[in-house]
Amino acid sequence: MSNDIRPELGLRQIVNVSGTMTSLGASIAVPEAIEAMSRGLPQFFDMSALHRYASTVIADLTGAEAGFVTASCASGITVAVAAMMTGTDLLAIERLPDASALKNEVLMLSGHMVSFGAPVEQMVRLAGARVVPVGQATSASAYQLAGSITDRTAAALFVVSHHVVDYAQVPFQTFVEVAHARGVPVIVDAASEYDLRTFLEQGADLVVYSGHKFLGGPTSGIVAGSKELIRACYLQNRGIGRGMKVGKETILGVGAALTAWKTRDHAAIRVREREALETWLTALADRPGVSATIVPDPTNNPLDRLKVSINSNDARITAWNLAMRLATGNRPVIVRDHEIEHGHFFLDPCNLHPQEKHVVAERLVEELEKAQLSNQIISTPIEEVWLSRERTILNWPD
């Protein structure tokens, strides 16, 4: 009997080649996290002590002095910003999001003000802080960062993501040096990063990671940094952090996932991912209008993806129509489509169950062969695709 709960709920059995996307449930939880949550759910805990346990586990893996588990990476940013403004002042914590009496400006490079499903800067504003953009979207320099610092500056937030503008931006080391030279602490949004140590080693004061993406824990965020700042993060549970609190099962699951990370066979995972990429390359070889290339992760995570470029004249279908067709039917395959208007999408192998790589290959061939039979190029105007997505969102739950 299958252990897949989706058919029982009337939900589609999605194959995820988009990556560690929150909209798809983020990742496959590791067995150790599932077991820890299952064993802990029937029990009671001193939650302060449980948080203290998690702090030691986070510190061990990240090299930080301490750590704190949050409801998500997004709430981790909010809590980190709040901590920078209030410190351990309990009255200031209770008053948030009214930060009018505090240093309440947070600097962000304009090219880092992206959406991950919601605007990053909104996570800052939720704490009561005001975002100060630095530079322009396509260019930001050290002098612009330095010139944006005032006596109201509480922190500077650096975003690491495939969404950010990846050229003509202030490099991370320079960002830290400029901020620290003027007494401004640095927060790093590293939600989708594999490396849990480098940003702290390079001078970040607080780093926010996802606990459920590459780590394979339950939906959660992890904040790592100095003991003083992490204490201020923890104390936000007496204020705005109360609405973002995590339960015992989340803390236990994250702790178990972090512990499992230390003994995970990362090399074997890379081998399995490479096998999937090769399977897809073979399936797409010599397909009219299709070009497939293995490309590295843009933020230097240790994984590759398959970039599938579509020439609609020869393939008889646009990249976005192909992606939409793959996402339909009894075997929906969801691709990584954040650059789809440029005529390509990506296949990410990091969240596949056994044999699913073959399902992906079969669906690609199936839809491409159907397109070849079309008398006309299958092409929905891209503007209509965007508007259709908006209508779908606004029509929920219907």
Confidence at residue 23, expressed as pLDDT on a 0 to 100 scale: 85
Buried b or exposed e, range 175-193, using 16+ CB within 10 angstroms: bbbbbeeeebbbbbbbbbb
pLDDT 10s digits, 140-156:
999 999 999 999 999 99
Q: Is the pLDDT of residue 362 over 60?
A: yes
Cis omega (within 30 of 0) for bond into 302:
no
Per CATH, the number for 31-261 is: 3.40.640.10
pLDDT 10s digits, 116-136:
889 999 999 999 999 999 999
User: What distance in Å separates the CA atoms of residue 350 and residue 348, rounded to the nearest whole number?
Assistant: 6
Q: Is the pLDDT of residue 261 over 60?
A: yes
Q: Is the pLDDT of residue 19 over 50?
A: yes
Mean pLDDT of the region 162-182: 94
Name residues whose C-beta falls within 8 Å of residue 386's C-beta, 6 or more positions apart in sequence.
none
Give the pLDDT band of residue 206 (cuts 50, 70, 90): very high
Tokens of 120: 């990053």
Give the pLDDT band of residue 161 (cuts 50, 70, 90): confident
Burial label, 234 (beta-carbon count in 10 A; 0-12, 13-18, 19+) = buried
20 vs 314, higher pLDDT: 314
Mean pLDDT of the region 217-224: 95
- Tell me whether the CATH fold assigned to 7-22+265-394 matches the one assigned to 31-261: no
User: What distance in Å separates the CA atoms of residue 9 and residue 110, rounded to the nearest whole number?
Assistant: 43
Q: Is the pLDDT of residue 3 over 90?
A: no
**Please, are residues 368 and 287 in contact by the beta-carbon 8 Å criterion?**
yes
Mean pLDDT of the region 29-45: 96
Chain centroid to Cα 295, Å, comes to: 19
CA distances from residue 210 to 159, 189, 303, 380 in whole angstroms, order as listed: 13, 9, 17, 35
Residue whose pair of structure tokens reads 């992906």 in the numeric block: 360
CB atoms within 10 A of CB 43: 8
Confidence at residue 131, expressed as pLDDT on a 0 to 100 scale: 97
Name residues whose C-beta falls within 8 Å of residue 179's C-beta, 6 or more positions apart in sequence.
107, 145, 149, 156, 185, 186
Query: How many CA atoms are closer than 13 Å to the CA of 369, on its beta-carbon side?
Result: 8
Name residues whose C-beta falls within 8 Å of residue 17's C-beta, 6 or more positions apart in sequence.
333, 334, 335, 336, 347, 348, 349, 351, 352, 360
Domain map (residue ranges) of the chain:
7-22+265-394, 31-261
User: What distance in Å separates the CA atoms of residue 203 and residue 198, rounded to the nearest whole number?
Assistant: 9
Q: What CATH class does 7-22+265-394 carry?
A: alpha beta
pTM score above 0.75: yes
